């Protein structure tokens, strides 16, 4: 019998599951009823004893460890300790129709951002029209003068975007951040799926889950689509800061899965505005570079002169149109958290559409009235620096002490442009296996999505990285702040069109297969009988 | 292929072979000393292990005297010793990490697993289980790794450079084993030569190069100076002999087809000259100057490696 409520789930792994009415739980509603798209998962999990689950969990961890999906813990260098990125076996499930809206919204947003970036490096029309304040852009440390009047192939700047979403207690998705510099985490999405398939294979048969495995091919096609003019067979490469970078695993993973060389700055050099890599057979020209190095470090001649990671002169080659860079330099001026508040206006301005995804209301401390409100309501707000990522430098007002709040007030007052504030968003919770206690507890989650823009092509990965704040009650999900992750399943269960189609094609192919199989089986049984 | 990647692959191969040889040598010396004829002194064996691993002076710079546990630990697990087996295995893994995008997942997992096993091997466990276990672990892991190299990689520059590294290092390691054992034998009293003590040393030499069984098949005789050296230096069909490996090195370099002319000073020329000179030599040609001959061989091998790195693997 399948349980339909929390209380009816047997065997105790959910016995201490406390629903908090202040937050939306992805798995259960407020009365403890199981949401319909989770029923099959709970039916399966109900068959496991806590010990079984622990064993599965260990199995999954070992799978990550042996795949080398680890990051070094720098403080404990003596014995070369490595940890895996914590992973939870309970998948986050998104129904098809819910996803369809998200996908449209993500694409809309990133297309508008792309036009915005083009605009601020060309005519600056949106600034002249007073839709976005000009000083906001010109004071951004990510706004690069070197990008003025540069025309990237296909007019694409933010080829790869990692839009972060949350689900609020009102049941709506909100965009939390637009990451259009070098968003990371995709390797975890693919490794999580691989581990899930190894560990909970039987569960996969009960759902129609959208595949995520085609991301590397899509990324490669995106790279090739923006090859410099006149290059038919572009040489593409992935540029990494090196193997001691915390995301090196991901850089290598993507290069391997796209079949591209993984290069470092010291492998490349620029001659007469063309970029070459040093190979055992001599120099080879590079046409497209997916770079995982920040703008600052890209070219010591143009930006940070102390950078040893970059390639002297690459910006010259870029401006000449001899190499394409993904993402384009200078995109960071658009994912600044203060600029974030203008994205809905950008969507209307450039696309003439209503924004599909919600924005979180944002107070910009440099505006007098906003600043005043922030100062008076610190404990209701989350304060963020506009240009940091990875969850650094954030103050969650409701969790902060009086000392921290007064300290932060001074910090903000000293540099008002640098800070924004947002109401504390009630990130939804999701059942998560807690290792030490051997049972499930609700933990807050968000969703990192991945979308690609190329010349005449667009792609949104059907899935993403559901990041989990593993510390009880914490709202900070970043991996650098003790977060973990879940596999994210986008269902393909549209009953009218898609499933009928796939059912037909499935039954057809089954017919074909069963013929040849039964022949083989027949001859086998004949031999055995004889 | 990127020169940096070429460099990492080449050194991955070299470290694999080096870790394996030092593990085996340490094990063979230590284990066979336990029942050696005429109660061979322990210090003799420990000194031999230190000099083969190339850390004789380094050891005495840190420790006042020879101590069995210190020596074994220093050569195998000591992480501050850049020439310990653990350091070499870390080197294999670091090089593999840097070349993840051109090797197979299976190879990477085998290397990663080997590293974690050796890295988590505690000094206490080494003490209680002795050198035999850890050496076996390293020998088996490197065999598995080499199995994945040969069975999962395309025969392109990636495979060729790893193989080149392996066989170049093997020629070097076998030369070092020969030099070390000849020095050991020279320390034996002259009157005992020719008897069981000397015979024992030749057996150990063969076992250190994992060659004893094949030697017996080939000669059907007890090892002596002449046949042991002939087997390990000149046998063209035995994969541990120096000559075999020189041929292999020459073939690898030809296959990689570096863009160079075949002229004096090119690595193709250097490798061909060495391999061919071994083809037309006999053991008699080394009489009276064996140590010089082996030292010259080592120098030529190091020179070849240097030119290769400077010309093609530099970045």
Per-residue pLDDT band at B194 (split at 50, 70, 90): confident
User: What is the mean pLDDT of the segment spanning A210-226?
Assistant: 96
Q: Is A378 on the interface with B (CB under 8 A)?
A: no
What token pair was written down for B32?
């066979």
Cα separation of B69 and A372, whole Å?
Answer: 70
pLDDT at A488: 96
Q: Is the distance from CB of A381 to CB of A197 less than 8 angstroms?
A: no
- Answer yes or no: is pLDDT of A517 > 80: no
**CB–CB contact B2 A267 (8 Å):** yes
Bond into A494 cis (ω within 30): no
Cα separation of A148 and B70, whole Å?
Answer: 65
**CB–CB contact A262 B100 (8 Å):** yes
**CB–CB contact B109 A279 (8 Å):** no
Give pLDDT tens digits for A343-362. Answer: 999 999 999 999 999 999 99
- Answer yes or no: is pLDDT of A504 > 80: no
Give pLDDT tens digits for B238-288. Answer: 999 999 999 999 999 999 988 888 788 899 999 999 999 999 999 999 988
DSSP state of A361: P
Q: What is the ipTM of this complex?
A: 0.75
- Answer yes or no: is pLDDT of A509 > 70: no
Q: Distance (Å) from the C-alpha of residue A241 to the closest C-alpha of chain B?
A: 12
| pTM, full prediction | 0.78
pLDDT at A230: 92
Percentage of chain A beyond pLDDT 90 is 58
Percentage of chain B beyond pLDDT 90 is 80
Bond into B222 cis (ω within 30): no
**CB–CB contact B94 A279 (8 Å):** no
- Answer yes or no: is pLDDT of A285 > 90: yes
User: What is the mean pLDDT of the segment spanning A519-525?
Assistant: 37
Q: Is A267 on the interface with B (CB under 8 A)?
A: yes
Cβ pairs bridging A and B (under 8 Å): 67
What token pair was written down for A176?
């939390």
Q: Is A256 on the interface with B (CB under 8 A)?
A: yes
pLDDT at A507: 38
Query: Residues 6 or more apart from A77 whose CB is under 8 A from it?
Result: none
Q: Distance (Å) from the C-alpha of residue A237 to the closest C-alpha of chain B?
A: 11
- Answer yes or no: is pLDDT of B147 > 50: yes
Partner residues linked to A240 by β-bridges? none
The CA–CA distances, whole Å, from B263 to A501, B252, B302 equal: 67, 17, 19
Question: How would you classify the pairing of strands A483-490 and A282-285?
Answer: unpaired
**CB–CB contact A260 B101 (8 Å):** yes
- Answer yes or no: is pLDDT of A328 > 80: yes
Q: Is B119 on the interface with A (CB under 8 A)?
A: yes
Chain A residues whose CB is inside 8 A of the B157 CB are 280
What token pair was written down for A25?
């739980």
Percentage of chain A beyond pLDDT 70 is 88
Cα separation of B148 and B108, whole Å?
Answer: 9
Which of A280, A284, A285 has the highest number of chain B CBs within 10 A, making it the mutation to test binding with B?
Answer: A280
Between residues B114 and A395, the one the model is more confident about: B114
Give pLDDT tens digits for A398-432. Answer: 888 899 999 999 999 998 888 999 998 889 999 99
Q: Is A282 on the interface with B (CB under 8 A)?
A: yes
Between residues A527 and B179, the one the model is more confident about: B179
Q: Is the distance from CB of A88 to CB of A433 less than 8 angstroms?
A: yes
Q: Is the distance from CB of A163 to CB of A113 less than 8 angstroms?
A: no
Per-residue pLDDT band at A389 (split at 50, 70, 90): low
Select from A243, A194, A221, A235 the least CA-distant residue to A72: A243
A80: helix, strand or coil: coil
Select from A522, A352, A470 the least CA-distant residue to A88: A470
pLDDT at A497: 40
Q: How many domains does chain B fold into?
A: 1
Per-residue pLDDT band at A75 (split at 50, 70, 90): very low
**CB–CB contact A261 B94 (8 Å):** no
Query: Residues 6 or more apart from B195 whose CB is under 8 A from it?
Result: none
CA-based nearest residue in chain A for residue B117 = A66
Query: Taking every pair of C-alpha atoms in chain A, what is the biggest distance, in angstroms?
Result: 93
What token pair was written down for A75?
């403080």
Cα separation of A134 and A324, whole Å?
Answer: 28
Give pLDDT tens digits for A182-203. Answer: 999 999 999 999 889 888 888 8
**CB–CB contact A261 B312 (8 Å):** no
CA-based nearest residue in chain B for residue A240 = B98
Q: Which domains does chain A have, with CATH numbers?
A: 361-424 (3.30.1490.270)
Give pLDDT tens digits for A117-166. Answer: 999 999 999 999 999 999 889 988 899 999 999 999 999 999 999 999 99
Task: Give the other-Cβ count within 10 Å of B264's Cβ.
Answer: 8
Q: Is the distance from CB of A403 to CB of A158 less than 8 angstroms?
A: no
Per-residue pLDDT band at A503 (split at 50, 70, 90): very low
User: What is the mean pLDDT of the segment spanning B226-249?
Assistant: 97
- Answer yes or no: is pLDDT of A480 > 90: no
Which of B8, B93, B94, B100 has the highest number of chain A CBs within 10 A, making it the mutation to test binding with A?
Answer: B100
Query: Residues 6 or more apart from B53 whose CB is under 8 A from it?
Result: B22, B25, B26, B75, B83
- Which helix or strand (DSSP H or E) is residue A163 part of? strand A160-167
Between residues B224 and A510, the one the model is more confident about: B224
- Answer yes or no: is pLDDT of A521 > 70: no
What token pair was written down for A194?
């691989």
What dihedral do alpha carbons B68, B70, B74, B77 form, nearest 10°?
Answer: 90
pLDDT at A104: 97
Q: Please give the residue range of the domain that contains residue B199.
A: 3-312
Mean per-residue pLDDT over chain A, rounded: 86
The CA–CA distances, whole Å, from A519 to A509, A510, A523, A525, B53 equal: 16, 14, 6, 10, 63
CA pseudo-torsion sign A177, A179, A183, A186: positive
């Amino acid at each position: 019998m399948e349980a339909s409520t929390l209380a009816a789930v047997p065997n105790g792994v959910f016995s201490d599951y406390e629903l908090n009415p202040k937050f939306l739980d992805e798995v259960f509603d407020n009365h403890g009823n199981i949401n319909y798209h989770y029923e099959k998962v709970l039916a399966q999990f109900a068959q496991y004893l806590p010990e079984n689950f622990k064993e599965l969990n260990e199995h999954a961890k070992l799978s990550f460890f042996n795949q080398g999906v680890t990051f070094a813990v720098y403080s404990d260098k003596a014995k070369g300790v490595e940890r895996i990125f914590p992973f939870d076996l309970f998948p986050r499930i998104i129904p098809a129709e819910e996803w369809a809206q998200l996908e449209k919204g993500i694409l809309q947003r990133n297309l508008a951002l792309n036009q915005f970036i083009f605009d601020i490096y060309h005519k600056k029309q949106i600034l002249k029209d007073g839709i976005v304040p000009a000083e906001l852009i010109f004071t951004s440390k990510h706004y690069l003068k070197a990008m003025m009047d540069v025309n990237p192939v296909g007019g694409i700047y933010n080829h790869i975007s990692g839009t972060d979403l949350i689900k609020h207690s009102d049941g709506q998705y909100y965009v939390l951040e637009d990451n259009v510099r070098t968003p990371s985490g995709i390797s975890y999405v693919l490794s999580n799926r691989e581990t899930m398939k190894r560990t909970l294979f039987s569960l996969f048969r009960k759902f129609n889950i959208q595949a995520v495995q085609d991301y590397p091919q899509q990324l490669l096609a995106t790279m090739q689509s923006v090859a410099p003019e006149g290059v038919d067979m572009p040489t593409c490469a992935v540029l990494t800061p090196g193997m001691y970078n915390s995301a090196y695993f991901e850089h290598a993973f993507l290069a391997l899965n796209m079949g591209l060389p993984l290069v470092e700055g010291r492998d490349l050099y620029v001659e007469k505005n063309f970029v070459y890599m040093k190979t055992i057979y001599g120099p080879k020209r590079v046409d497209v570079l997916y770079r995982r190095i920040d703008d600052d470090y890209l070219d010591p001649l143009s930006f940070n002169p102390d950078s040893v990671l970059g390639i002297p002169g690459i910006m010259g080659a870029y401006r000449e149109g001899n190499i394409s860079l993904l993402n384009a330099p200078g995109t960071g001026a658009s994912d600044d958290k203060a600029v974030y508040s203008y994205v809905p206006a950008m969507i209307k301005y450039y696309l003439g559409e209503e924004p599909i995804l919600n924005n979180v209301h944002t107070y910009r401390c440099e505006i007098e009235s906003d600043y005043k409100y922030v100062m008076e309501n610190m404990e209701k707000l989350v304060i963020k620096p506009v240009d940091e990522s990875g969850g650094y430098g954030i103050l969650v007002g409701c969790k902060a002490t009086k000392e921290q709040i007064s300290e932060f007030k001074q910090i903000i007052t000293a540099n008002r442009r640098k800070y924004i504030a947002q109401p504390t968003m009630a990130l939804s919770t999701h059942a998560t296996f807690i290792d030490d206690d051997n049972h499930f507890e609700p933990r807050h989650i968000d969703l990192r999505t991945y979308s690609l823009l190329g010349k005449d092509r667009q792609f949104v990965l059907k899935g993403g990285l559901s990041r989990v704040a593993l510390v009880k009650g914490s709202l900070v999900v970043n991996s650098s702040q003790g977060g973990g992750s879940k596999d994210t399943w986008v269902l393909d269960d549209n009953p009218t069109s898609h499933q009928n189609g796939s059912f037909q094609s499935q039954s057809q192919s089954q017919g074909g297969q069963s013929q040849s199989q039964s022949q083989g089986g027949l001859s086998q049984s004949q031999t055995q009988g004889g | 292929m990127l020169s940096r990647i070429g460099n990492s692959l080449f050194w991955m191969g070299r470290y694999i072979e080096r870790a394996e040889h030092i593990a085996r040598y340490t094990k063979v010396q230590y284990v066979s000393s336990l029942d050696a004829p005429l109660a061979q002194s322990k210090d003799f064996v420990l000194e031999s292990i230190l000099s083969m691993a190339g850390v004789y002076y380094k050891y005495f710079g840190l420790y006042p005297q020879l101590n069995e546990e210190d020596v074994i630990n220093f050569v195998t697990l000591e992480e501050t010793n850049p020439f310990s087996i653990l350091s070499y295995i870390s080197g294999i893994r670091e090089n593999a990490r840097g070349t993840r995008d051109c090797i197979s997942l299976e190879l990477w997992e085998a290397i990663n697993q080997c590293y974690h096993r050796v890295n988590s091997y505690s000094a206490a466990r080494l003490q209680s289980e002795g050198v035999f276990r850890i050496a076996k672990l390293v020998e088996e892991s490197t065999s598995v790794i080499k199995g994945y190299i040969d069975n999962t990689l395309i025969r392109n520059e990636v495979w060729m450079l790893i193989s080149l590294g392996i066989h170049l290092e093997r020629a070097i390691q076998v030369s070092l084993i020969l030099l070390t054992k000849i020095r050991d034998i020279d320390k034996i009293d002259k009157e005992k030569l020719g008897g069981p003590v000397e015979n024992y040393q030749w057996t150990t030499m063969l076992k250190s190069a994992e060659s004893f069984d094949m030697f017996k098949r080939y000669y059907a005789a007890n090892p002596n100076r002449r046949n042991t050296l002939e087997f390990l230096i000149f046998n063209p069909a035995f994969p541990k002999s120096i000559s075999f490996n020189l041929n292999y090195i020459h073939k690898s370099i030809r296959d990689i087809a570096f863009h160079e002319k075949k002229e004096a000073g090119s690595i193709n020329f250097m490798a061909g000259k060495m391999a061919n000179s071994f083809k037309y030599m006999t053991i008699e040609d080394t009489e009276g100057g064996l140590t010089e001959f082996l030292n010259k061989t080592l120098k030529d091998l190091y020179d070849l490696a240097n030119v290769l790195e400077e010309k093609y693997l530099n970045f």
